[in-house]
Amino acid sequence: MHLSESTWPEVRELETSLAVLPVGSTEQHGPHAPLGTDMLTAEAVAAAGVDAYHDETGVDIPVAPTIPVAVAEEHRAFDGTLWVSPDTFRAYVRETVASLAHHGFDRIVIVNGHGGNVGALGELSGTISRHDDAYAVAFTWFEGVDSDVPMGHGGPRETAVLRHIRPDLVREDHVDTASEAASDHWGEWVAGVNLAHDSAEFTDNGVVGDPAEGIAALGAQLVDNAADGLCELLEAVGTRDRS
Amino acid sequence: MHLSESTWPEVRELETSLAVLPVGSTEQHGPHAPLGTDMLTAEAVAAAGVDAYHDETGVDIPVAPTIPVAVAEEHRAFDGTLWVSPDTFRAYVRETVASLAHHGFDRIVIVNGHGGNVGALGELSGTISRHDDAYAVAFTWFEGVDSDVPMGHGGPRETAVLRHIRPDLVREDHVDTASEAASDHWGEWVAGVNLAHDSAEFTDNGVVGDPAEGIAALGAQLVDNAADGLCELLEAVGTRDRS
Amino acid sequence: MHLSESTWPEVRELETSLAVLPVGSTEQHGPHAPLGTDMLTAEAVAAAGVDAYHDETGVDIPVAPTIPVAVAEEHRAFDGTLWVSPDTFRAYVRETVASLAHHGFDRIVIVNGHGGNVGALGELSGTISRHDDAYAVAFTWFEGVDSDVPMGHGGPRETAVLRHIRPDLVREDHVDTASEAASDHWGEWVAGVNLAHDSAEFTDNGVVGDPAEGIAALGAQLVDNAADGLCELLEAVGTRDRS
Amino acid sequence: MHLSESTWPEVRELETSLAVLPVGSTEQHGPHAPLGTDMLTAEAVAAAGVDAYHDETGVDIPVAPTIPVAVAEEHRAFDGTLWVSPDTFRAYVRETVASLAHHGFDRIVIVNGHGGNVGALGELSGTISRHDDAYAVAFTWFEGVDSDVPMGHGGPRETAVLRHIRPDLVREDHVDTASEAASDHWGEWVAGVNLAHDSAEFTDNGVVGDPAEGIAALGAQLVDNAADGLCELLEAVGTRDRS
Amino acid sequence: MHLSESTWPEVRELETSLAVLPVGSTEQHGPHAPLGTDMLTAEAVAAAGVDAYHDETGVDIPVAPTIPVAVAEEHRAFDGTLWVSPDTFRAYVRETVASLAHHGFDRIVIVNGHGGNVGALGELSGTISRHDDAYAVAFTWFEGVDSDVPMGHGGPRETAVLRHIRPDLVREDHVDTASEAASDHWGEWVAGVNLAHDSAEFTDNGVVGDPAEGIAALGAQLVDNAADGLCELLEAVGTRDRS
Amino acid sequence: MHLSESTWPEVRELETSLAVLPVGSTEQHGPHAPLGTDMLTAEAVAAAGVDAYHDETGVDIPVAPTIPVAVAEEHRAFDGTLWVSPDTFRAYVRETVASLAHHGFDRIVIVNGHGGNVGALGELSGTISRHDDAYAVAFTWFEGVDSDVPMGHGGPRETAVLRHIRPDLVREDHVDTASEAASDHWGEWVAGVNLAHDSAEFTDNGVVGDPAEGIAALGAQLVDNAADGLCELLEAVGTRDRS
């Protein structure tokens, strides 16, 4: 159930302590994919995951609106990329989670669509679970799927999911040039350390990996796979002993 | 142009220093209107306003994704209402605006759909304009329209706009009971001071004003009216001397 | 009872949970009125209000010393104007209120003399009442009076009150030039939005409205009127159900 | 020149980069002396000091309004004592100083009347001078006088100054009992460390030292002495090389 | 060169913009290894790395004193574990780095000995490099070595290094029981997400991995290996284009 | 017992609520003494103090690792001096103390080796004792000894202690020049106020006082004396009524 499309008496009827909070980012995804890619993919996985959970248990879980701006300063060289500091991002998500918990939804799965948020959300989940009246974990969908296709950035996985859920937003006429100019690796590594703090240091067009490989069928499979993982996680979170 | 649906090279092509940032809220709007009302109305007005501006000038203005969670703790008694503290809200919006300015969009109109944000956004606009590398003002759509219909909360204006833009989300079968149980005033006033810090102190179902009065035709008129106001404002902001 | 002129055993004898905290500002009020205008008026109204309350109930209410520096950066172009950020102002007032509440004065009316503080104090009152061990509201005296005379800035109302309470501080020989160069409106408005973040953008001498109109008799009437409002408010706050 | 009693054009006429900011406290001073003692003494010394400077140099220095609430939680056991955290106090004073500096008064002497502020003001003066566009030092008046009479708290020095400047506020009929029940030392000391964080741990009525000894003639002498010190300090600060 | 053992004129003689800042943690490492393990290992690797760099280039690099308390709340169930919040940790390290940069050492390699710090240091390195007058990266020694031996916690790698550098601190008589009761995995994983925020949820004695395997010869090899990596990293950081 | 050299089961065996937290600084101590002087002296006194306490009571007290970077910006002109802001320093120490208290060590003596920390630690001790679940006091060793030898900076006392505990770190060949160029006073005083915010304003080589006078025998005596004071303080803190 999407919170933003529901009324408060409908929310009051829910019989669960679980909630899902999708978190995206507004950031460059190359010349072929929209800046909102990470919101769209997080939303799609969140929706599919709670549907799967509903199919299995008959229970409806509220899905909060997607957080649109997150930790993405590393892409600042590319126009239209938006970001807030990690501190502000954590405060914003933490307090949003607290307001969910205020209504009794105090087992929260944050569904994340952006690699740059992983560190901040991991830290935040611990903070919330130890110090607030809620338990939280972060599920980054592309870490929860079982696939040989590399992640990259605006690469095969994300392009595949977009072609599956919002094909109208993929600039197909730019995919080839996106592929050609793409970087084949994330970062500049020496002794296990990435020296590049910004993505523009290692990719000219913002793409890492080959988007052409990301066909729609793969996208469908990735979303299914992620939804299954999310459903499994919701079951574990819903029954976890919090004493 | 919606940033989240655009690619970074498309954003780079834009020839304007203007940007629009819609800000909503996820909060109760009575038993007949969705929690996302303030996001939907802010988005609709923002889109119509930049369209009007484009019609008049031929110039495309980027519209950032809508901020979904804002200053709404006053509605905490009603399930599903989400909120962050005013401090966190200001930080989140301020840094988002700064990232727009980083790309040259340093004349920003925040299009606001929620009365509870007015104070925070007014303060923030001053702070940004005085201390950051940007100029910002906040346009709260229902303050920018010329109409005799009272605002209320989940009342005639908001219901009218929803019936115009998203009639599928209005629970028509609850409008009558919403009207009957609605409060006819916001707050509890003594000597010009509102003693009630929470809306539940003066409204039982969260509604203020009569939603039944809010017909779709009025909604169309309100959106047009607000879009004209926003267009006029964009022209003024775009040409304002910042020296 | 003025806290700063009382001893602690005298304060211990008080039999009330009410307290009054005057809040002013140190900021330009034109060439005829002193920078301390908002402190002086807030103090005068606070004193008259607790006197009225004492007359009616026989109960003494403590009046804290006046907060002298507040949210006034908008007047920074005029020499001698002092200010702190809204965040610091809120922290300072919030903690002062908490120390009053520590002694059992946990129903606090903030008596405000400056329009620029209204937003910050409204937000703060909600925060205190929801999250701290106290209930607070803010009474801005010129919003609590019933008068046809416009407020302005350094205009008829403030000049009138000054002529009543501290005529020695009004530079009568500058009132005429103050009137002549005064602006007749606050702000620069487009579509319901004020584009001017600083007062110097719309007033050359810092004055809005005609100070000459502000005769002492009007000042006496305004203070009486505000004191009555404050007294009524204190009664309501003192008996309000906080459960 | 008292800022709060001056107009902005008068402030603009000043020809100095010096300013004085008095800082007091609202806190218990025993059964015989008012809670506002530290404000009153700081104000008196500030006024006398700038007068002395004017006599010597012909130059007028602006005196800001007195900060009324400061670092006094140690006296929380005694009714009516107000306080803010040291962090908030520093922020409030720092930003007030910055607004003075905005108008060109960037050599600031903070005139302090409260021992509990000494640490915070010392730290703050360094921070301002190193990182802001101003130079600041803190002058605690009773550290700047040459006298054999001990300081105490509500003791001989403060009582003497009050009897000189505001005899109406000294409860003479309580001075004897104040003396009798007074503590003769501040703190509980072991190995050079004070174990008592609150004054109530070592004084029953809030007094340290014998107030009876504090005659008005001594008060006059102390104020003169402090004013001379302040005048000398203003000369040094005004001519100090800041390159 | 260890900063804490050097004098300021000696530091002034250095001819490098590089500096090394070791960061440890004070936290449980099982019944056989000391709470200071992560400090000791970070220090050993830092020292060996700058020695290697000196051997190769003839240039001395200053090594700051080791930060002793870090992000370790996850081990709070085990006595003696110390921690600060990630926010405070980042502020402390960031400002320490800024003071190094003040003296011209503005290319900083943070040598980290604790897995729990990795996220905070990664975020911080980006913040420093983008916004402060310094470039920083974090080298977590066990991520920079090439070894098949698993990391664990108080496991083979750390025990090995301790046996090499401080064998006196390994409680050899507790290694067997440490091994027997150790967990063989870090965390409780569902769908790629670790549900356990505290280590006590998956290890009874605080150990993960078999410490018995960690012989001193392996420790020597690991330190050498890490020192080589650090040396290589220092060369890369020292010559990296920062324009 | 040094926490960093102990294991968690050993800490669990302790039977005390006392703990000692040494706090140093990394800052210039002239051309003859190392930057780590304040860490070394604080550690030496802490160790000797808990030994004395053990001798007397048979009880072991945990000694946390020494905080290495503190409030020392005043020495920024001298190379290698490290510092953090007082706010960050207080946060770091406060949270470290809270983690000690988490394990039951909630009576904490901070053993301080640096004069620049005194104000911050005094403030912090009050804050912790009033608001956290712990009682804390700060013992600055050179304030707790009974000696006619002046303190200075890098002067006789510190040099004496270094010659006693770490003679290898005193550059004996620079002591004479250190003495010759030393300042004989700390600060530039007018009317009881120090006008100099940085030490370089009154000492060319960073030294105040004559280091040559600081012979090792004096150092031994100072450490003994301080250890006795600390022992006495620990006894007082351990038995102090906290109700």
Q: What is the pLDDT of residue E144?
A: 83
Measured CB to CB, residues of chain E less than 8 Å from chain A are: 73-74, 85-87, 119-120, 122-123, 125-127, 129-130, 137-140, 143-145, 190-195, 197-198, 229-230, 232-233, 236-237, 240
Q: Which pLDDT band holds residue A147 (cuts at 50, 70, 90)?
A: confident
Q: What is the pLDDT of residue A166?
A: 98
Between chains, do B195 and C137 touch, taking CB under 8 Å as contact?
Answer: yes
- Beta bridge mates, F18: F107
Q: What is the pLDDT of residue D123?
A: 98
What helix, strand, coil percent values describe chain B, rounded to 5?
50, 10, 35
DSSP string, C123-140: HHHHHHHHHSSSEEEEEE
Q: pLDDT per residue over C103-138, tens digit each?
A: 999 999 999 999 999 999 999 999 999 999 999 999
Residue E204, CA distances (Å) to A148, E34, E36, E180, F103 in order: 36, 17, 20, 11, 17
Q: What ipTM did this prediction achieve?
A: 0.98
Cα–Cα distance measured from residue D8 to residue C78, given in angstroms and rounded to the nearest whole number: 6
Mean predicted confidence (pLDDT) in F127-149: 95
- Selecting from E74, E126, E191 the residue whose C-beta is nearest the C-beta of A144 gives E191
The answer to whether residue B237 scores a pLDDT higher than 80 is: yes
Looking up tokens 């996208």 gives: A219
**CA nearest D44: which of D163, D215, D127, D128?**
D163
Residue of C nearest to B76 (CA): C130
Three-state secondary-structure class, residue A60? coil
Q: Does the predicted TM-score (pTM) go above 0.95? A: yes
Residue of A nearest to B94 (CA): A84
The answer to whether residue A44 scores a pLDDT higher than 80 is: yes
Mean predicted confidence (pLDDT) in A77-100: 98
**CA nearest B146: which of B217, B55, B228?**
B228
Q: What is the pLDDT of residue C243?
A: 76
Three-state secondary-structure class, residue B128? helix
The answer to whether residue A185 scores a pLDDT higher than 90 is: yes
Looking at beta carbons, which residues of chain C come within 8 Å of B240? 195
Looking at beta carbons, which residues of chain B come within 8 Å of A100? 82
Residue of C nearest to B129 (CA): C197
Between chains, do C95 and D79 touch, taking CB under 8 Å as contact?
Answer: no
Least Cα separation, residue A44 to chain B (angstroms) = 15
Mean predicted confidence (pLDDT) in B76-84: 98
The answer to whether residue C242 scores a pLDDT higher than 90 is: no
Residue of C nearest to D99 (CA): C82
Q: Which pLDDT band holds residue F242 (cuts at 50, 70, 90)?
A: confident
Q: What is the pLDDT of residue F146?
A: 85
DSSP string, D127-183: HHHHHSSSEEEEEEGGGSS--SS--TBTSHHHHHHHHHH-GGGS-GGGHHHHHHH-B
Backbone torsions φ then ψ of F208, nearest 5 degrees: -125, 125
pLDDT cut 70: percent of chain F above it = 100
Cα–Cα distance measured from residue E12 to residue A163, given in angstroms and rounded to the nearest whole number: 60
Mean pLDDT, all residues of chain F: 97
Q: What is the pLDDT of residue E71?
A: 98
Looking at beta carbons, which residues of chain A come within 8 Å of B64? 26, 68-69, 82
Q: Which pLDDT band holds residue E242 (cuts at 50, 70, 90)?
A: confident
Looking at beta carbons, which residues of chain E come within 8 Å of F6? 34-35, 80
Mean predicted confidence (pLDDT) in D106-124: 98
Q: What is the pLDDT of residue B243?
A: 76
Looking at beta carbons, which residues of chain C come within 8 Å of B236? 190-191, 195
Q: Where are the alpha helices (DSSP H) in F58-150?
A: 86-102, 118-131
pLDDT cut 70: percent of chain B above it = 100
Q: Which pLDDT band holds residue C174 (cuts at 50, 70, 90)?
A: very high
The answer to whether residue E139 scores a pLDDT higher than 90 is: yes
Looking at beta carbons, which residues of chain C come within 8 Å of B193? 137-139, 143-144, 233
Supply B27's token pair.
């909060």
Between chains, do D198 and F130 touch, taking CB under 8 Å as contact?
Answer: yes
DSSP state of D9: H
Q: pLDDT per residue over E40-90, tens digit each?
A: 999 999 999 999 999 999 999 999 999 999 999 999 999 999 999 999 999
Q: Which pLDDT band holds residue A197 (cuts at 50, 70, 90)?
A: very high
Q: Between residues F147 and C208, which one has the greater pLDDT? A: C208
Could you tell me whether strands B189-190 and B193-194 are parallel, antiparallel, or unpaired per DSSP bridges? antiparallel
Return the minimum-mean-pLDDT range out of A149-158, B193-202, E67-76, E110-119: A149-158
Q: Are C54 and D55 in contact (CB under 8 A)?
A: no
Q: pLDDT per residue over D35-80, tens digit each?
A: 999 999 999 999 999 999 999 999 999 999 999 999 999 999 999 9
Q: Are F108 and F21 in contact (CB under 8 A)?
A: yes
For chain F, state the CA radius of gyration. Answer: 18
Q: pLDDT per residue over A223-237, tens digit each?
A: 999 999 999 999 999
Please, what is the Cα angle at E134 between E131 and E137, to 5 degrees?
95
Least Cα separation, residue D15 to chain F (angstroms) = 23
- Selecting from B119, B195, B197 the residue whose C-beta is nearest the C-beta of C119 gives B119
Q: What is the pLDDT of residue D2?
A: 97
Q: Which pLDDT band holds residue B146 (cuts at 50, 70, 90)?
A: confident
Q: pLDDT per residue over B86-116, tens digit each?
A: 999 999 999 999 999 999 999 999 999 999 9
Q: Which pLDDT band holds residue B242 (cuts at 50, 70, 90)?
A: confident
Mean predicted confidence (pLDDT) in E217-227: 97
Mean predicted confidence (pLDDT) in A62-80: 98
pLDDT cut 70: percent of chain A above it = 100
Q: pLDDT per residue over B31-53, tens digit each?
A: 999 999 999 999 999 999 999 99
Q: pLDDT per residue over C131-171, tens digit each?
A: 999 999 999 999 989 888 888 999 999 999 999 999 999 99
The answer to whether residue E132 scores a pLDDT higher than 80 is: yes
Least Cα separation, residue F17 to chain E (angstroms) = 12
Mean predicted confidence (pLDDT) in B215-243: 96
The answer to whether residue A243 scores a pLDDT higher than 80 is: no
Looking at beta carbons, which residues of chain E come within 8 Å of A120? 119, 123
Mean pLDDT, all residues of chain A: 97
Q: Are A123 and A112 in contact (CB under 8 A)?
A: no
DSSP state of D243: -
Q: What is the pLDDT of residue A39?
A: 98
Touching, D vs B (3+ Cβ pairs under 8 A): no
Q: Which pLDDT band holds residue A242 (cuts at 50, 70, 90)?
A: confident
